[in-house]
Structure 1
Amino acid sequence: MTGFARVDGHADGYSWTFEVKSVNGRNLDIRCRQPAGFDTLEAAARAEIPKRLARGSVNLNLTVNRSQSVSQLRINRELLAQVLELAREIEGAGAAAPRLDSLLAVRGIIEPVEEDEGDARERVEAALKADLGRLIGELVTARLSEGARLVTVLNGHLDEIERLITAAAACASTQPEALRERLRSQVAALLDAAPALPEERLAQEAAILIAKADVREEMDRLRAHIQAARDMLAEGGAIGRRFDFLCQEFNREANTLCSKSADVELTRIGLSLKASIEQLREQVQNIE
């Protein structure tokens, strides 16, 4: 299932953008891109995403920017005391007293105070992990929203398959009288065969003809598959793999129906049925 989510955040002079998108996939494939030094976020994502998603190709991207921080300043009192002592000695020798701005201009008197980078990074990573959880939650919401729309589409395909099965059941070639008439003509052809077939062989051939002409079993199974599909949609959750297998069973029965058909109308319905099943299967690939 497809989905997209984005989360922006900032803390302690850092700003970041999280983006995640997912597309259809048979299995769960997670790919992460993050700046150097933020590798713990990939480990967190690989631990958290499988708890919320079962299938899909998930791409997570993190960009981080650091603002130019203004450092605090402090006076190096020990160095200032040494400079003042020298200034008094110079003043005692008859020289003019140094001005304050001259004293403060001495290298090292005023120095910046750097923040403890380790503490800041810990707070930033904690905020990033919180945003990661929120990001995955928004992705799940987006996928659920798409899933709700897909349910309507899938039910529409199931309605069409059910309509075609009803049309196949109503087809004249599937009716008991039509089957009996076809069997009579085929048995007559067997009786006219030269050399004549033994009665035991004739009974075997008649049984084969009956089995080949009767598609009621295939239609019964198709109806059962429709009910199973509707039950899965009502159940919800990660049903993609089971639904995909069910589509294979749909297709198997439709192929058998077409192979048994000896009637143009029934063959046309069978081909339409196969096309509808294929459309259903394509949509099922979008389900988790």
Structure 2
Amino acid sequence: MVHSMTAFARCEQAGPFGTLCWELRSVNHRYLEPHLRLPESFRELEGAVREALRQGLSRGKVECTLRFVEEGAGQRLQVDEARTRQLLAAARQVAALIAQPAPLNPLDVLAWPGVLVADVADPQALNAAALALFQEALQQLREGRQREGGELARLLGERLDAMQDEVAALREQVPHMLANQRQKILDRCAELQVELDAQRLEQELVLLAQKSDVAEELDRLITHIGEVRRVLKAGGAAGRRLDFLMQELNREANTLGSKAFDPRSTQCAVNLKVLIEQMREQVQNIE
């Protein structure tokens, strides 16, 4: 089954340490492009989160946001003295380059990320809980992408059926269109009272039939339709393959239109191009 690249997942977990909440948003993209928004105290999870995304998804722009609301009761705030000293040293270095530096506000120092930390009993356990919750959210995201992918496959299947019907109808009508064209030439010559060389007429009609022969284009259209069905059935990361097949289908429809000599063949080419464009827009969302 094919998967969409568009989905949303949200997982929340409350515990004695506080409340963790992951939100994952996925949209279409040529490659896998993760964007992580993590609190400073969870930065060490970034590598594991990126690896989990790489293992679970192949394409899409994925925004991963972690929110953590600490349980305030029984906790006290601490100052990370080593980080504070580093910050003050950097501030003095910058102040030396300024003619009249403003005095440093202690509250500004406390607001710097990592200076003020909560008294968390077991940060490793908290990180493990956040990573486990991320795996749950990622699974929800994959399931959402799978559901939407199934719906996209159904819509593509409907348009493939419509294309196949158009091709079959045109194939059946081509001999009648050629016969009508031959009769139009005869009727026109009769109106003009022109005596025709029967052999020359047949040569011209054969030439017209060759120029307007669309059997090869119709065969290739059917072949490409069958390949799209096969790719959809095989599933996996099929988006790029399907996009290529849409280009090939469009090329055959254009050739069909350039060979049109009857309003029915022209209308068929237009109908096929409309269906192909509808499919191309849907294919952009397939992983």
Distance in 2 (alpha carbons) for counterparts of 1:50 and 1:243? 22
Structure whose CA Rg is larger: 1
Q: Which residue is equivalent to 1:123?
A: 125
Distance in 2 (alpha carbons) for counterparts of 1:240 and 1:285? 7
Structure 1 segment 73-152 matched on structure 2, within 5 A? 120-152=122-154
Q: Which residue is equivalent to 2:170?
A: 168
Secondary structure of 2:249's match?
A: helix
Q: Which residue is equivalent to 1:21?
A: 25
Distance in 2 (alpha carbons) for counterparts of 1:69 and 1:129? 24
Distance in 2 (alpha carbons) for counterparts of 1:242 and 1:183? 46
Distance 1:71 1:181, change over 3 A: closer
Secondary structure of 2:40's match?
A: coil
1:122 counterpart letter in structure 2: Q
Distance 1:174 1:135, change over 3 A: farther
Distance 1:31 1:208, change over 3 A: farther
Distance 1:170 1:210, change over 3 A: closer
Q: Which residue is equivalent to 2:34?
A: 30
Q: Which residue is equivalent to 1:112?
A: none
Displacement, 1:127?
0.8
1:143 counterpart letter in structure 2: R
Distance 1:226 1:42, change over 3 A: same
Q: Which residue is equivalent to 2:286?
A: 287
Q: Which residue is equivalent to 1:56?
A: 60
Q: Which residue is equivalent to 2:14?
A: 10
Contact 2:178/2:209 (8 A) holds in 1:
no
Contact 1:3/1:21 (8 A) holds in 2:
yes
Distance 1:242 1:174, change over 3 A: farther
Secondary structure of 1:69's match?
A: coil
- 1:27-60 Cα deviation digits (max 9, x unpaired): 2111111111211222222111111111111111
Contact 2:18/2:69 (8 A) holds in 1:
yes
Higher normalized contact order (CA 8 Å, seq sep 6+, divided by chain length): 2
Displacement, 1:173?
6.0
Contact 1:5/1:20 (8 A) holds in 2:
yes
Q: Which residue is equivalent to 1:39?
A: 43
Q: Which residue is equivalent to 1:153?
A: 155
Structure 1 segment 178-189 matched on structure 2, within 5 A? none
Q: Which moved more, 1:168-177 or 1:240-249?
A: 168-177
Q: Which residue is equivalent to 2:72?
A: 68
Secondary structure of 1:171's match?
A: helix
Distance in 1 (alpha carbons) for counterparts of 2:186 and 2:50? 68
Secondary structure of 1:37's match?
A: helix
Distance in 1 (alpha carbons) for counterparts of 2:236 and 2:284? 15
Q: CA RMSD in A?
A: 2.9
Give the TM-score normalised by the residue count of structure 1.
0.71
Give the TM-score normalised by the residue count of structure 2.
0.72
Structure 1 segment 183-262 matched on structure 2, within 5 A? 210-262=209-261
Distance in 2 (alpha carbons) for counterparts of 1:218 and 1:265? 16
2:24 counterpart letter in structure 1: V
| % same residue | 37
Contact 1:155/1:230 (8 A) holds in 2:
yes
- Which runs of 5 or more structure 2 residues have no equivalent in the other structure? 77-117, 188-202
Displacement, 1:70?
1.8
Distance in 2 (alpha carbons) for counterparts of 1:250 and 1:117? 63
Contact 2:177/2:262 (8 A) holds in 1:
no
